[in-house]
């Protein structure tokens, strides 16, 4: 009987293994499919490569912002070769890591539970005192559409496999992955149309920033808000999409239809119902959000397999911390949660740190909003990227920074700064004592902090 | 008799005025020359505009890094028009601010001291209980060379005035301003040669990072290390420079010679010797570095007029805090110092935060260095900017982060993050508990923190 069996060798599983091996050699990793991560193969990394090239293209085409005249041509097979090259480099790094592990610790195949201590893999039984389940998720697919469109319906699992970029593309969805991909494709010369169920795009919950984001991103990207396809069908090599707009039936013909409407957990593959018949419906499993424990069992479910917000660094964090709960079972502790930090690599980038506007409202927390617009911000003007805004949410009583939402160039950096400040539980008065170099985008944060302080001083 | 007379309406003086006006209306500002700031007119801002355009040009010409093929042409009169337009926009903002002040509070002209409470301006005497001196500095000029070269010898005061960019340029100096300008000019197609007294370039004090910086920046910029011109003379419309290299006398012909060999204080204009004859030599005034007080007088000298490291946000900070010392005189307090944060907008950017390598060595503080190279850093590879490194300096006993030196893309952002952590006096173990989003350049900081931790754990 193993001390721990880890199911799934993605980000969370690998992180769990690396932590577990420090404590016990009596462990087993079971993995179905490739021994690398969603992140490196079909997630964060290839998407960032595509976005990086797309943004460079955009910077070239809009160099008049900084007084240059330019021309660029895209060889889209070269772009996709570049995506493949770097993706392979990143997956190789992960695989090399896994290859260094004791071969006795690794089995390829699908694990299904027989009882709470036993799984079946390729016809063999394996037993453990505890399990870490890190099976991840896959993009949701409309099965009818898939049957109709076959290889012309793609998701983030397939898009990075393309040899060249299509001439035209429709994307269903307006969340993080949908908008990141849509904007990149459009910037790379792919005629891209987005069908969005609602008006919300990306990750921001602030109504004001949402409107700003919708306006900014719509300027360069064709988004059909509150419209979904009525019907899709193949038309020779193309996809024909019928939809209703302004009470009229319309048609759009594109090379591919890309679905980015969320992700589905792989938990359904595990036959958890053999442990408890109530586990049949994997969408409503009794998983403790703080401990990640399944019911009162020595089973912990981490990473994308059970989350609404798949974020790589949180998956790694959960995988690592679940090991202690496995080894100390039945003594189970809350996993120490990280200060929330979510980044979307759109242009401008979006980010949410600490508590979002929506979360604060839902909890009826009394806060004021410090706002800065970047249209007239010095450093942003110099860079030719003076767009967007930041909202800081400040507790009225404690004057502490509770959260922030960002829609701005380099939000990836400003979001780290703000989330680290939030984790130190600093008051805005303390943050205003920090050095702000001139000229930087960070000075915009100071503007927002001062805006918040003026409001607090008026109230106080 | 005024409560405070402020001499000099630059960044430090304006900041002092804005703070003083909250406490007393009985103040006077005396300013010689334009009522805007070195920063906005001939410093941070126009240089950042030129650098921004230069970096965009570089990104266009090296778009093969991200698999694109491109072409760009430079209309250098357009580039300089862009520099002028934005510079004017930034100086207008400052002027507008100053114009809103009570006209009775402002006099144009040179102030010279008659005694410790009295200055003479345009033949009139003005008296105050205390003075804030914020007269700033100007680029050092070799007077012989100036006489010989006339308008072909320029400094940062003149370079942004050019209508078009020269075809060729020699720069003497290898400090922050010299390298920022040289790299920008080279990237904008100006054939640029740098004469450097030493091997040191830019702001970094770490020997390892210096070598890396010299190698990286030399790749695109012709730097003659440890060589200064022997003689300069005019040759028709050109400048002819004679210098000795490899024991041979050589000659270089360029359109302009730009001096960036440091800055000279304007304190010499003030006739301080009328207060005390020992104040004749303004280079060795008895100024307290903590309080900025001149001797035991009610005179405080702030900003670039008295500093080795002219940094805009520190000038503003000093101007603001000196007001309290004026009003409370003779009770004088140390100005609260900000966590050091210096950024150089080269490519890669350089930054120094907290205590530098050199400062720590000079104080014999026991520290270890956490190092990360960015050649193989995921996010840097994705951006096509995988160069440089970061060193973190960690106290061996307390495990606190003491300082850092950076040579990396987006150092301007990473430096804020690190300096704010240093100001919170965090141990590296605390910083490792922060969220690091994937994939970001911030993950490189985690690598360096872990490198430091491994060393500490080995020692400990």
Instruction: Look up the ipTM and state it.
Output: 0.97
Residues, chain B, total? 460
Task: Look at strands A401-408 and A349-354 and give their pairing.
Answer: antiparallel
What is the torsional sign of CA B48, B51, B52, B53?
A: positive
Supply the Cα-derived Rg of chain A in whole angstroms: 24
Q: What is the mean pLDDT of residues B318-329?
A: 97
Chain B positions in Cβ-Cβ contact with residue A75 (cut-off 8 Å):
67, 69
Residue B460 pLDDT exceeds 80: no
User: Considering only residues 389 to 448 of chain B, which have any Cβ-Cβ distance to chain A shorter than 8 Å?
Assistant: 410, 412-417, 419-421, 423-424, 426, 433-442
Q: What is the mean pLDDT of residues A259-280?
A: 97
Three-state secondary structure call for residue A231: strand
Whether pTM > 0.95 for this model: the answer is yes
Q: So what's the pLDDT on residue B309?
A: 84
Q: So what's the pLDDT on residue B238?
A: 98
Q: So what's the pLDDT on residue A160?
A: 97
Nearest CA in chain A to B90: A378
Element (H, E) at B168: strand B168-172
Q: Which of A376, A340, A354, A370 has the alpha carbon at shortest distance from A446?
A: A370
Q: What percent of chain B has pLDDT over 90?
A: 97
A52 Cβ partners below 8 Å, 6+ apart? B66, B382, B383, B384
User: Hey, are the CB atoms on B63 and A86 less than 8 Å from each other?
Assistant: no
Q: What is the mean pLDDT of residues B101-117?
A: 98
Does A74 reach chain B within 8 Å, measured CB to CB?
yes
Q: What percent of chain B has pLDDT over 70?
A: 100
Does A72 reach chain B within 8 Å, measured CB to CB?
yes
pLDDT digits over A207-229, tens only? 999 999 999 999 999 999 999 99
Band the pLDDT of B296: cuts 50, 70, 90: very high
Q: What is the mean pLDDT of residues A55-72?
A: 92
Q: Do the beta carbons of residue A432 and residue A446 sit within 8 Å?
A: yes
Task: Compute the distance between CA of residue B259 and CA of residue B172 in angstroms, rounded to an integer.
Answer: 5
Does B76 reach chain A within 8 Å, measured CB to CB?
no
Instruction: Kindly report the backbone phi and psi dihedral angles of residue B395, in degrees, each rounded to the nearest multiple of 5, phi listed first.
Output: -65, 130
Does A88 reach chain B within 8 Å, measured CB to CB?
no
Give the side-chain half-sphere CA count within 13 A for A62: 12
Band the pLDDT of A72: cuts 50, 70, 90: confident
Does A313 reach chain B within 8 Å, measured CB to CB?
yes
pLDDT digits over B156-167, tens only? 999 999 999 999
Task: Compute the distance between CA of residue A251 and CA of residue A229 in angstroms, rounded to an integer.
Answer: 9
Strand order in the sheet with A231-235: A231-235, A238-245, A248-254
Q: How far is B297 from chain A (nearest CA, A)?
A: 28
User: Considering only residues 268 to 307 of chain A, which have any Cβ-Cβ distance to chain B shorter than 8 Å?
Assistant: none
Q: So what's the pLDDT on residue A70?
A: 86
Q: So what's the pLDDT on residue A226?
A: 98
Of A66, A79, A419, which is closest to B56 when you measure between CB atoms? A66
Element (H, E) at B113: strand B111-115
Task: Compute the distance between CA of residue A300 and CA of residue B440 in angstroms, rounded to an integer.
Answer: 28
The position carrying tokens 């400090």 is B175
Band the pLDDT of A44: cuts 50, 70, 90: very high
Q: What is the mean pLDDT of residues A410-421?
A: 98
In sequence order, what DSSP letters do the residues of A316-336 get, joined into one string? HHHHHHHHHHHHHTTS--PPP
User: Hey, are the CB atoms on A413 and B415 less than 8 Å from each other?
Assistant: no
In DSSP terms, which residues pair with B108 in a beta bridge? B31
What is the torsional sign of CA B378, B380, B383, B385?
A: negative
B179 labeled part of a ligand binding site:
yes
Task: Compute the distance between CA of residue A355 and CA of residue A422 in angstroms, rounded to an integer.
Answer: 9
Task: Compute the distance between CA of residue A357 and CA of residue A207 in angstroms, rounded to an integer.
Answer: 9
Does B352 reach chain A within 8 Å, measured CB to CB?
no
User: Hey, are the CB atoms on A82 and B59 less than 8 Å from each other?
Assistant: no
Q: So what's the pLDDT on residue B365?
A: 98
Task: Compute the distance between CA of residue B175 and CA of residue A385 in angstroms, rounded to an integer.
Answer: 28
The one catalytic residue in A58, A62, A416, A438 is: A438
pLDDT digits over B207-240, tens only? 999 999 999 999 999 999 999 999 999 999 999 9
User: Hey, are the CB atoms on B53 and A59 less than 8 Å from each other?
Assistant: no
Q: What is the mean pLDDT of residues B132-152?
A: 97
Q: Which of A213, A413, A92 has the alpha carbon at shortest distance from B445?
A: A413
What is the torsional sign of CA A206, A211, A214, A215?
A: negative
Under DSSP, the state recorded for A109 is S
Nearest CA in chain B to A382: B49
The position carrying tokens 């050095």 is A435
Band the pLDDT of A196: cuts 50, 70, 90: very high
Q: What is the mean pLDDT of residues B414-435?
A: 98
Band the pLDDT of B73: cuts 50, 70, 90: confident
Under DSSP, the state recorded for B335 is P
Query: Where does A198-345 show beta strands of DSSP type E?
Result: 222-225, 231-235, 238-245, 248-254, 256-259, 263-265, 299-301, 341-344
Q: Annotated catalytic, B105?
A: no
Q: How far is A67 from chain B (nearest CA, A)?
A: 5
Of B86, B339, B378, which is closest to A381 when you measure between CB atoms? B86
Domains of chain A by start residue, with CATH: 2-139+263-328 (3.50.50.60), 143-259 (3.50.50.60), 341-459 (3.30.390.30)
Q: What is the mean pLDDT of residues A105-114?
A: 98
Element (H, E) at B185: helix B176-187
Q: So what's the pLDDT on residue B308?
A: 81
Q: How far is A127 from chain B (nearest CA, A)?
A: 34
Three-state secondary structure call for residue B30: strand
pLDDT digits over A235-251, tens only? 999 999 999 999 999 99
Q: Do the beta carbons of residue A62 and residue A219 sit within 8 Å?
A: no
Distances (CA, A) of A193 to A189, A241, A313: 12, 11, 31
Give the side-chain half-sphere CA count within 13 A for B167: 6
Nearest CA in chain B to A420: B434
Residue B332 pLDDT exceeds 80: yes
Band the pLDDT of A73: cuts 50, 70, 90: confident
Residue A94 pLDDT exceeds 80: yes
């Amino acid at each position: 009987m193993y001390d721990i069996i880890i199911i799934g060798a993605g980000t969370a599983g690998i992180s769990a293994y690396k932590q577990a091996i420090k404590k016990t050699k009596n462990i087993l990793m079971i993995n179905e499919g490739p021994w690398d991560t969603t992140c490196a193969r079909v997630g964060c990394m290839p998407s960032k490569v595509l976005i990086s090239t797309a943004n460079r293209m955009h910077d070239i085409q809009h160099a008049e912002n900084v007084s240059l005249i330019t021309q660029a041509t895209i060889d889209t097979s070269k772009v996709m070769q570049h995506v493949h090259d770097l993706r392979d480099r990143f997956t190789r790094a992960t695989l090399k890591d896994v290859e260094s592990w004791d071969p006795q610790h690794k089995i390829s195949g699908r694990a299904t539970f027989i009882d709470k201590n036993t799984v079946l893999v390729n016809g063999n039984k394996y037993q453990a005192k505890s399990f870490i389940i890190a099976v991840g998720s896959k993009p949701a697919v409309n099965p009818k559409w898939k049957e109709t469109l076959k290889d012309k319906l793609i998701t983030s699992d397939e898009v990075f496999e393309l040899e060249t970029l299509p001439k035209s593309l429709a994307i269903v969805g307006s969340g993080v992955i949908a908008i990141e991909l849509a904007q990149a494709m459009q910037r790379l010369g792919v005629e891209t149309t987005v069908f969005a169920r609602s008006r919300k795009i990306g990750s921001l919950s602030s109504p004001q920033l949402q409107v700003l984001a919708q306006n900014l991103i719509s300027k360069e990207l064709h988004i059909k808000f509150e419209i979904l396809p009525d019907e899709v069908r193949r038309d020779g090599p193309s996809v024909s999409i019928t939809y209703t707009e302004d009470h009229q039936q319309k048609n759009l013909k594109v090379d591919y239809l890309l679905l980015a409407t969320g992700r589905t957990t792989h938990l359904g593959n595990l036959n958890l119902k053999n442990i408890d018949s109530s586990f049949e419906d994997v969408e409503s499993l009794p998983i403790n959000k703080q401990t990640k424990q399944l019911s009162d069992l020595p089973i912990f479910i981490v990473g994308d397999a059970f989350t609404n917000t798949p974020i790589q660094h949180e998956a790694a964090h959960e995988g690592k911390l679940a090991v202690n709960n496995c080894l100390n079972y039945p003594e189970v502790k809350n996993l120490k949660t990280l200060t929330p930090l979510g980044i979307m690599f759109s242009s401008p980038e979006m980010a949410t740190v600490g508590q979002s506007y929506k979360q604060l409202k839902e909890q009826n927390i009394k806060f004021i909003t410090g706002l800065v617009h970047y249209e007239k911000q010095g450093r942003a003007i110099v860079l030719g990227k003076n767009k967007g805004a930041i909202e800081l949410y400040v507790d009225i009583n404690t004057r502490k920074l509770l959260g922030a939402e960002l829609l701005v160039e380099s939000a990836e950096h400003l979001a780290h700064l703000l989330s680290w400040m939030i984790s130190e539980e600093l008051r805005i008065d303390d943050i205003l004592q920090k050095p702000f170099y001139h000229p930087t985008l960070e000075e915009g944060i100071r503007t927002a902090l001062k805006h918040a302080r003026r409001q607090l001083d008026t109230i106080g």
